Amino acid sequence: MAYFYDGVAHTFNEYLLVPGYSSAECNPDAVDLSAPLVRFSRGEQPALKTNIPMTSAIMQSVSNDTMAIALAREGGLSFIYGSQSVADEAEMVARVKDYKAGFVLSDSNLHPDDTLADVLALKQKSGHSTMPVTHNGSAHGRVLGIVTSRDYRPSRTPLEARVRDFMTPREQLVTAPGDTTLKGANDIIWDHKLNALPVLDPEDNLLYLVFRKDYDTHKLNPLEILDTKKRYLVGAGINTHDYEERVGPLLEAGADILCIDSSEGFSEWQQRTLAWIRREYGEEIPVGAGNIVDREGFRFLAEAGASFIKVGIGGGSICITREQKGIGRGQATSVIEVADERNRYFKETGIYIPICSDGGIVYDHHMTLALAMGADFLMLGRYFARFDESPTKRVNVNGSYVKEYWGEGSSRARNWQRYAQGDTNKLSFEEGVDSYVPYAGPLKDNVAMTLTKIRSTMCNCGALSIPDFHKTAKLTLISATSIVEGGAHDVLPKDQINPTRLNFR
């Protein structure tokens, strides 16, 4: 006879936090939202941490290099999607690592025979207005000059004008040698009031550009997460089919952490993948695994060597796994049980393995509930898909702006590696949908508001860090009536009423 779990599997929306004592020290500005990304032993610090408990999902419609840079700037981490060629994924990882080294590889380069029309087209494509001119038009050619928006006026400069005729020539440029430090480069920028500084080798070949805005950006983003070389941290998704070909190039490109992207992680395939990576690259390579929904799944992946473990099956907004296959579990119940097993494992072994809540987040307060229930950090898809920095198109539908958002289990993603079992190489049926999400604007503003809510709520519960929150949080199940009562009710919202039709007698 089948095994039946006791009780009902609950979602985040069925819980509320009960406030605890808040001391005078409980100020939102004092709340530390840093979270461990990888396993660590008692008394030690994790090798990798985020400064906010947010990671972006391993999805085509969410996590590319643009998203990774924007999120790392705010203190979170992106996992570049793996449902693309190995070369393309590695290139995305490399672009993230190159971006924040301070020394940026130029991706907008001109040949002296190019025209203003070429300049405008390249600016439209890349969004960059600073364009080195090299003898062969490549990123590492001999520098002949540079073009910025100050070198031409689209309304007056003919579109057929050659770059060589309006560029700022090499002899007028302030440059730096290849052995210049980042501090030295920034000093040159400030001393000469530059916006960009070309860094050249002894033969005048372009190595990098250093931008004033990167210095300013760092000052405006104190939570940004950087490696020892001052580059943004970035993760990358892998699967259980071509990992032997994928892992090496991703690590060479600079990936700081890997994660197995699979709809169900309690499998021999993930065990094999983890064992191969440990054997070929050593224990120090961080690799997350999942997804699982109960204590047995956690214990399996913990003993297989996972650096962190993702929790959640079927709770994503575009996921229809539960509908199609009848497997999964309410996300709140899953997180609570797995967190309990995580704590038990820590007591037994002295090894703490972070858990990541993946799915089931509809509102900002669901994030706070997931953390209170024991999650160390969150993986979010729909939340990040709404922002400017996600890789999808912004479109106007019936007068409202939306962004495209599709699941990795949809036909559009064609990510059979995530769902296929064994040696099959096809997607037999869909486990995700193709959809839209309301456009929400820039990531920075939205993440800041969400974090303000989380910090404020934690203060209401008397917690100044996520580990403290795990210990002090008090949760209560609520009734369906309580859910209704929790929102606006028994009033007439002004934005839904025509004032001219109201009678105040």
Task: Name the band, by pLDDT with cuts 50, 70 and 90, for residue 373.
Answer: very high
Q: Which of 26, 319, 356, 461 is catalytic?
A: 319
Q: How far apart are CA 447 and CA 72, in angstroms?
A: 12
Residue 454: is its pLDDT beyond 50?
yes
Task: Name the band, by pLDDT with cuts 50, 70 and 90, for residue 174.
Answer: very high
Annotation says 418 is catalytic: yes
Average pLDDT over residues 107-111: 93
Average pLDDT over residues 270-280: 97
Check residues 485 and 45 and name the one with the higher pLDDT.
Answer: 45
Check residues 328 and 256 and name the one with the higher pLDDT.
Answer: 256
Residue 217 in tokens: 């950006």
Q: What is the DSSP string of 387-409?
A: BTTSSSPEEEETTEEEEEEE-TT
Q: How far apart are CA 314 and CA 301, in angstroms?
A: 19
Q: How far apart are CA 391 and CA 403, in angstroms?
A: 9
Annotation says 461 is catalytic: no
Q: Which of 386, 418, 455, 461 is catalytic?
A: 418
Task: Name the band, by pLDDT with cuts 50, 70 and 90, for residue 504.
Answer: low
Residue 280: is its pLDDT beyond 60?
yes
pLDDT of residue 494: 75
Average pLDDT over residues 150-173: 94
Average pLDDT over residues 228-254: 95
Average pLDDT over residues 11-33: 95
Q: How far apart are CA 374 and CA 293, in angstroms?
A: 13
Residue 325: is its pLDDT beyond 90?
no
Residue 415: is its pLDDT beyond 60?
no
Range from 118-127, 210-219, 291-300, 356-365 carrying the lowest mean pLDDT? 210-219
Residue 92 in tokens: 């995305």
pLDDT of residue 416: 47
Check residues 337 and 98 and name the one with the higher pLDDT.
Answer: 337
Residue 420: is its pLDDT beyond 70?
no
Helices marked H in 254-284 — which ranges? Answer: 268-281
Which tens digits make up the pLDDT trace of 48-66? 999 999 999 999 999 999 9
Task: Name the band, by pLDDT with cuts 50, 70 and 90, for residue 491.
Answer: confident
Please, what is the average pLDDT of the chain?
Answer: 90
% of the chain at pLDDT higher than 70: 91
Residue 326: is its pLDDT beyond 60?
yes
* 61 neighbors 83 (Cβ within 8 angstroms): no
* 147 neighbors 125 (Cβ within 8 angstroms): no
Range from 85-89, 226-230, 305-309, 461-465 carrying the lowest mean pLDDT? 226-230
Residue 490: is its pLDDT beyond 70?
yes
Average pLDDT over residues 227-241: 93
Q: How far apart are CA 199 and CA 439, in angstroms?
A: 39
pLDDT of residue 463: 97
Q: How far apart are CA 275 and CA 277, in angstroms?
A: 6
Q: How far apart are CA 49 and CA 226, in angstroms?
A: 10
Residue 65 in tokens: 């290099």
Average pLDDT over residues 285-313: 97
Average pLDDT over residues 351-370: 97
- The answer, as to whether pTM is greater than 0.75, is yes
